[in-house]
Amino acid sequence: MNQIAMEQSVLAEAKHPFIISLIHTFHTIKYHYLIMPYCAGGSFLQLLYRQKDHRLSEDQACFYAAEVFIALEYLHLLGILVRDLKPENILVHESGHLMLSDFDLATRIHANPNVTHNQKRSSWFVARKVLRESLSPEGSVGGQKRRLVHRRRMSQCEYPFLDTETHFETADWREYAVVGTLDYMAPEVISDETYTSSIDWWAFGILLYEMMYSTTPFKGSSKQDTMENLLDLSKELAFPQDIDVSAEAKDLLWCLLNKNQDERMKDPQRIRQHPFFSKIKWPLIRHTKPPLKPILDQIGDSNLDELTKYDREIM
């Protein structure tokens, strides 16, 4: 019941275009129901497996990683640690944009993170600056006039659910529980050590790796082999030579998948500013056409076998 309560709590609090929302709840004697929007594009894992060689191009991976990053950063801003980020737990909206879901393994951070702003300027100011820079000489985007949201109106929002420029400094707190999916679990979780929000950024790195290489980097022939690969410091991150990936992408993966959690890149501002994301216009990403068009399922037509055959076991 605690997992159901956590799922409901996160869904009710999070108000963000890249996070699934909660419409209504009700319960019977036996069951508790959470009513959420239907994402006709299925899971992100299904989308990956429908691509050639079950992987994305680097530009495609960059776009989807940026959307996941924004949602993850926002959840951390609310004091929520996901602890089970993976393609199976990401849904594809009919528009092609991604939405994070499945927060039953999430937990609350015991300290409130400090909210900061890039160069001490409001996120509204940065968004307006980027929008102005993208305007054509005629003052339009894509040939259509665009109107900016009034600063006072945005400042009255309880949560910055459209604010993709807000950063926070990770608070000094640690969690202590072994949960998650093995392929995506950080070494400190497996070794039963205390850990911080950096485990979500580790999982984010694994996700990015899988997008481009169609496998996870430390996967072994068995669960035991995978655990040993994750815990063995001599087992360094390796990249398949037959897949062309940029030096910027590899550098970001090196930074995110550092087995030493104290040295791992976990500052959202540093991740956002990494050269790998240099083409991303952050304030406009919600209005950017996704690189792939999802195959839309009709309600009731989903094949249960297809939905579950790629699912990985959680611990």
Tens-digit pLDDT profile for residues 10-36: 888 889 999 999 888 898 988 888 888
Identify the pLDDT of residue 258. 97
DSSP structure string for the chain: -HHHHHHHHHHHH---TTB----EEEE-SS-EEEE----TT-BHHHHHHTSGGG---HHHHHHHHHHHHHHHHHHHHTTEE-S--SGGGEEE-TTS-EEE---TT-EE-SSPPEEEEGGG--HHHHHHHHHHHH--TTS-BTTB---PPPHHHHHT-SS-TT--SEEEEPPS--B----SBGGG--HHHHTT--B-THHHHHHHHHHHHHHHHSS-TT--SSHHHHHHHHH-TTS-----TTS---HHHHHHHHHHT-SSTTTS---HHHHHTSGGGTT--GGGGGGSPPSSPPPPPPTT---HHHHHTT---B-
Contact (Cβ atoms closer than 8 angstroms) between residue 98 and residue 91? yes
Angle at 88 between CA 86 and CA 93, to 5 degrees: 110
Identify the pLDDT of residue 315. 59
Is-above-0.85 flag for pTM?
no
A 10 A CB-CB count for 270 gives 11
Identify the pLDDT of residue 41. 93
For CA atoms 72, 33, 87, 182, the dihedral sign is positive
Q: How far apart are CA 2 and CA 4, in angstroms?
A: 5
Tens-digit pLDDT profile for residues 101-157: 999 899 987 545 554 444 444 443 443 443 344 333 333 333 343 333 333 333 333
Both structure tokens of 254 = 């090196």
Tens-digit pLDDT profile for residues 193-238: 888 889 999 999 999 999 999 999 999 999 999 999 999 998 999 9
- The superfamily in CATH containing domain 2-112+171-294 is Transferase(Phosphotransferase) domain 1 (1.10.510.10)
Q: Which residue from 164, 255, 170 is spatially nearest to 209, judged by alpha carbons?
A: 255
Q: Which of 59, 84, 192, 311 is catalytic?
A: 84
Q: Domain ranges in the chain?
A: 2-112+171-294
Q: Specify whether 84 is catalytic.
A: yes
Reply yes or no on whether the pLDDT at 67 is more than 90.
yes
